[in-house]
């Protein structure tokens, strides 16, 4: 099955390459995917196939056919995972930094889903589809910490509803750049796709509502150790909001400025605790995960740099 789009080039698209234009106007397409469509003749202008390096003019009408993606189901892999809690309905794990949550373009295996499939067998819920079995919520590849996955469809729907109405709550800890002036605060700013870079998110007028509460745990001169509590779950939310107020997460490869001297391999951000109502018992469940080694080592280093013995 094909999805069909008819795109009329605007004035601000004048002179833009066809592959770049498509990637910027169709969120489901990366630039490489747009190039494949163009190479396969699935993009036409006036009935003729468009070359990927063709320069567009205002008023050009591009007819675009996008084949429906048919990804293969994720496969089980014997990857060690740290299980914090598990029963017949759900499992809570402590994801290490560097692990992707589910398979996607560029990460077909080695993910948390592959590990869960091996650990749980065929008991994971199917609500999320073949590539995201059991996955109720996500955390970024280079963010460590707690994540709950569902084993039954009923548990999945219940946890998803709690995520929506905020009865499923998450608390993070992070080290950010600079000295935050206030002891606590709230960033209330909508988040959407960065119009200039599709790999990044940004605070945008047309974005989705997002609110992050933060509290200072300790100050280290050039860095601040904070706790963050989410009222929403937008992509990269903490990273975007902290960068927005001028205090990017240390080591963040996307949002930290080039002046970041933290020498970290990924952002210093940890999903420390999670709380939810158990789908079967109705009891409140609460779990915490200790700071990972890399986080503790960074706190010790910046403590020494700040003159602490």
Strand boundaries in the chain, DSSP class E: 2-8, 43-45, 48-49, 61-67, 82-86, 90-95, 144-150, 169-177, 184-188, 191-193, 201-203, 211-219, 223-230, 269-277, 284-288
Q: Are residues 147 and 282 in the same domain?
A: no
Residue that is last in its domain, among 110, 137, 165: 165
pLDDT at residue 189, as a whole number: 97
Collapsing DSSP states into helix, strand and coil, what is residue 23? helix
pLDDT at residue 249, as a whole number: 98
Nearest to 288 by CA among 268, 276, 270, 274: 274
**pLDDT, tens digit (0-9, with 9 covering 90-100), for 99-110:** 999 887 667 789
Residue 63 phi/psi, 5° resolution?
-100, 120
Q: Are residues 133 and 212 in the same domain?
A: no
pLDDT at residue 70, as a whole number: 52
Nearest to 147 by CA among 99, 92, 110: 92
Sheet containing 43-45: give its strands across: 2-8, 61-67, 43-45, 48-49
Q: Are residues 148 and 276 in the same domain?
A: no
Which residues form the catalytic set?
140
Paired tokens of 190: 């909508």
Residue that is last in its domain, among 24, 48, 67: 67
Paired tokens of 234: 């937008």
In our burial notation (b when 16+ CB lie closer than 10 A, e otherwise), range 128-164 reads: beebbbbbbbbbbbbbbbbbbbbbbeebbebbbebbe
Q: Are residues 87 and 216 in the same domain?
A: no
CATH number of the domain bearing residue 254? 3.30.2350.10
Number of folded domains in the chain?
A: 3
Q: Does the predicted model carry a pTM greater than 0.85?
A: no
The position carrying tokens 């706790």 is 227
What percentage of the chain has pLDDT greater than the value 90? 70
Q: Are residues 157 and 266 in the same domain?
A: no
pLDDT at residue 190, as a whole number: 95
Collapsing DSSP states into helix, strand and coil, what is residue 291? coil
Residue 98 CB: number of other CB atoms within 10 A? 13
Q: Are residues 47 and 85 in the same domain?
A: no
pLDDT above 80 (res 279): yes
The position carrying tokens 């605070």 is 203
Q: What's the chain's Rg over C-alpha atoms? A: 22
What distance in Å separates the CA atoms of residue 230 and residue 170, rounded to the nearest whole number? Answer: 6
E strand or H helix at 33:
helix 31-39
pLDDT at residue 211, as a whole number: 95
**pLDDT, tens digit (0-9, with 9 covering 90-100), for 44-54:** 999 899 999 99
**pLDDT, tens digit (0-9, with 9 covering 90-100), for 12-36:** 888 999 998 888 888 667 777 788 8
Q: Are residues 51 and 88 in the same domain?
A: no
Q: Which band of pLDDT confidence, cut at 50, 70 and 90, is reported for residue 72?
A: low
Q: Are residues 138 and 199 in the same domain?
A: no
What distance in Å separates the CA atoms of residue 58 and residue 78, rounded to the nearest whole number? Answer: 53
Q: What is residue 215's DSSP assignment?
A: E
Q: Are residues 306 and 170 in the same domain?
A: yes
Q: What is residue 132's DSSP assignment?
A: S
Q: Are residues 39 and 104 in the same domain?
A: no
Residue 17 phi/psi, 5° resolution?
-65, 145
Collapsing DSSP states into helix, strand and coil, what is residue 117? helix
Residue that is last in its domain, among 46, 67, 88: 67
What distance in Å separates the CA atoms of residue 170 and residue 66, rounded to the nearest whole number? Answer: 37
**Domain containing residue 246:** 166-309
Q: Are residues 231 and 298 in the same domain?
A: yes
Q: Are residues 107 and 161 in the same domain?
A: yes
The phi-psi region of residue 39 (left if phi > 0; otherwise alpha if psi is between -120 and 50; otherwise beta) is alpha
- Whole-angstrom CA distances from 221 to 72, 155, 307 are 49, 45, 10
């Amino acid at each position: 099955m094909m999805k069909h789009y008819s795109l009329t080039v605007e004035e601000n698209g004048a002179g833009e390459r066809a592959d770049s234009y498509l990637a910027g106007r169709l969120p489901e397409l990366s630039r490489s995917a747009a190039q494949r469509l163009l190479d396969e003749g699935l993009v036409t202008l006036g009935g003729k196939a468009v070359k990927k390096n063709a320069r567009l003019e205002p008023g050009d009408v591009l007819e675009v056919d996008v084949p429906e993606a048919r990804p293969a189901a994720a496969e089980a892999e014997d990857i060690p995972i740290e299980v914090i809690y598990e029963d017949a309905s759900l499992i809570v794990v402590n994801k290490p930094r560097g692990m992707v949550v589910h398979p996607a373009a560029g990460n077909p295996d080695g993910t948390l889903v592959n590990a869960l499939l091996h650990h749980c067998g065929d008991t994971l819920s199917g609500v999320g589809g073949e590539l995201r079995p059991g996955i109720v919520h996500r955390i970024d590849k280079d963010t460590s910490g707690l994540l709950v996955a569902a084993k039954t469809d009923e548990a999945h729907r219940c946890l998803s509803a709690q995520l929506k109405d905020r009865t499923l709550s998450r608390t993070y800890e992070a080290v950010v750049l600079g000295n935050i002036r206030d002891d606590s605060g709230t960033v209330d700013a909508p988040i959407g796709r960065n119009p200039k870079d599709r790999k990044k998110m940004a605070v945008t007028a047309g974005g989705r509502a997002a609110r992050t509460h933060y509290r200072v745990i300790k100050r280290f001169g050039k860095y601040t150790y904070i706790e963050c509590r989410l009222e929403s779950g937008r992509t990269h939310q903490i990273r975007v909001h902290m960068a927005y107020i001028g205090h990017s997460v240390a080591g963040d490869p996307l949002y930290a400025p080039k002046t970041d001297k933290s020498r970290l391999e990924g952002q210093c951000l940890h999903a420390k605790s999670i709380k939810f109502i158990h789908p079967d018992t109705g009891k409140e469940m609460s779990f915490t995960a200790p700071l990972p080694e890399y986080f503790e080592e960074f706190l010790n280093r910046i403590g020494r740099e700040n003159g602490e013995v």
